[in-house]
Amino acid sequence: MTDAFISRLLYNLRDTDVMKRRSLLNVATTFLLLTQRGGLAQTAAKSDATSMAVILERVAAIHGAAGVFAVVGYRMEGALHDLNVNRGSFALDVTHRTPLQVQYSCVADGWQAATGVSAGKLNLHIVEVPAQDTETVIRNRQTGKALVFRLRKEFLAKYLNVPQEKQKDASREVAGLAGDQIFTVSVESH
């Protein structure tokens, strides 16, 4: 990887102005220092561990513990970017359609931890439905655009009813999964 990076850098240097050359050389120097010390991989691993710790901490602060399904709700927070809204925005509206059963309903707490929506702000709603109809609809009130999240059957088969003593490890695992291993996302059609 280092040789390819240096080759591309040298190729780009030949046709650039002095300011761009200096900037590219600074990037190259940092890259070489990190790769020589193994720092690039360590930095990425530290960043991933920090992200996971933040997820688990924020979920526990709202939910009381970082349970698997509350972590799932937090993991759906990528919708903020897709809907072009910021954390805490009143433009964000979340409707969690769920059976009134612990685990399924815990997804709403994850949303609250990730986005700042709340029942008190009237932008977090729980609607009772049978388990097979569980979904979370996230809408930008200003644009009307909405995304629908549904838990994958494979995910439910593995993580539904995880014993309490295994929740902490399972939650860490879920915090590190790719979103498409947990849920599907579709654009809501009217």
Q: Tokens for 144? A: 């009307």
Backbone angles phi and psi of 94, in degrees to 5? -120, 125
Concatenated DSSP letters of 17-74: -HHHHHHHHHHHHHHHHHHHTTHHHHHHHHHHHHHHHHHHHHHHHHHSS--HHHHHHH
- Please state whether beta strands 124-128 and 92-98 pair in parallel, antiparallel, or not at all (unpaired): parallel
The reported pLDDT for the residue numbered 52 is: 84
Q: What sign has the CA pseudo-torsion 152, 179, 148, 130?
A: positive
The reported pLDDT for the residue numbered 80 is: 86
The reported pLDDT for the residue numbered 11 is: 56
- Average pLDDT over every residue of 46-57: 71
Token pair 């933040």 in the structure block, residue:
54
pLDDT tens digit sequence for 93-102: 999 999 999 9
The reported pLDDT for the residue numbered 108 is: 94
What are the CB-based long-range contacts (under 8 Å, 24+) for 45-52? 48/176, 52/172, 52/175, 52/176
- pLDDT of residue 156 exceeding 80, the answer is yes
pLDDT tens digit sequence for 172-187: 999 999 999 999 999 9
Name the more confident of 65 and 6. Answer: 65
Specify the range with the lowest mean pLDDT, choosing from 19-23, 76-80, 136-140, 180-184: 19-23
In one-letter notation, the amino acid at residue 36 is Q
Q: To the nearest whole percent, how much of the chain has pLDDT over 70?
A: 73
CA pair distance 139, 145, nearest whole angstrom? 6
CA pair distance 177, 1, nearest whole angstrom? 26
Rg of the chain, C-alpha, whole Å: 21
- Show the CA angle centred on residue 184, arms to residues 179 and 189, nearest 5°: 135
pLDDT tens digit sequence for 108-140: 999 999 999 999 999 999 999 999 999 999 999
The reported pLDDT for the residue numbered 61 is: 92
The reported pLDDT for the residue numbered 51 is: 85
The reported pLDDT for the residue numbered 20 is: 56
The reported pLDDT for the residue numbered 36 is: 46
Q: Is 61 exposed, middle or buried (0-12, 13-18, 19+ CB in 10 A)?
A: exposed
